[in-house]
Amino acid sequence: MKVRFSASAASWEEWAPALRAADSDLSLHQDGDPASFDAIIYAPNGDITDFTPYVNVRLIQSLWAGVEKIVTNKTLTQPLARMVDPGLAQGMAEYCTGWTMRAHLGMDGYAQDGTWRNSTVPPLASERPVTILGVGELGRATAAMLSAVGFPVTGVSASGRPVDGIDVRSLAQLDDVLTSSQILICLLPDTPQTRNLLDARRLALLPQGAWVINPGRGTLIDDEALLTGLESGRPAHAVLDVFRTEPLPKDHPFWGHPAITVTPHIAADTRAQTAAKVAVENISRAMNGQPVRNLVDRNKGY
């Protein structure tokens, strides 16, 4: 099968060897006659903006988990699959678990200033409710890791469909769930339905002292509402890895805010060594008439 690779120039050096190692018969190219390709491995920072000439392409395999920057391209009519990489899922689970433990244990409360602070003992993990907004591949991996530590985990999804090992509620029940969410992890995709989902009214529903951890999408939280909510302790602290504008501008009020921790979009990354196998297998399925995994629903946007 002949595959066109369209992503950043720097990523070619990393991905080409991994993709060829995943399938020695793969014919991988950075350019060529559009009509000659069977599939495209794609990222929005690649060079393709018009997919119309790729008349024989049976699948466009995204290298990114999020596809909001791809589905808006009206020339893209071919089947589109988002990337679900086990390495990315593990990385996201580790990020969320690490920050959850920091919030749970109050690790920031021990200034190294010679003061003996032993008046507050944190509860056990079993007494600290965690809510995960979004129980797709990343949310399920995060829930499994947190549950193994002992946290009671509630998931929230658009449909509320059951997931093994997680108490799942629908978005219609979000308000009720927020009232007991001592740690809230945001992993929903960016869609018209999720933008500014956590507005001033919903943030005010959180328990006093709650933490918000957002490695999902920067559009999920109303920035101004978050800054206002932090003044009242709802939430008490926000860990933010994603933003409406990236890199986050140097003059943005999030920088230096005492109740905000900024991380530079490093929660999880697609790793070529594991994701290449996923991409090649999915393209092979498309070529052989088998169901494609993680096919994007254009109406939903993910």
* Domains in the chain: boundaries: 2-85+270-287, 86-262
Residues forming a β-bridge with 40? 4, 60
**What pLDDT, in 10s, does the model give residues 39-65?**
999 999 999 999 999 999 999 999 999
| Domain 2-85+270-287 identical in fold to domain 86-262 | yes
pLDDT at 73: 95
| Cα→Cα distances 218→194, 239, 247, 248, Å | 11, 11, 12, 11
Indicate the DSSP class of residue 292.
P
Tell me the CATH number of domain 86-262, given options 3.40.50.150, 3.40.50.720, 1.10.1060.10, 1.10.10.60. 3.40.50.720
256: region left, alpha or beta (phi > 0 left; psi from -120 to 50 alpha) = left
CA distance 70 to 209: 38
**What pLDDT, in 10s, does the model give residues 79-131?**
999 999 999 999 999 999 999 999 999 999 999 999 999 988 889 999 999 99
Residues 6+ apart with CB under 8 A from 123: 104
**Which active-site residues does the annotation give?**
217, 265
With the CA atoms of 285, 139, 193 and 220 taken in that order, what torsion angle do they form, in degrees rounded to the nearest 10?
A: -130
CATH number of 2-85+270-287: 3.40.50.720
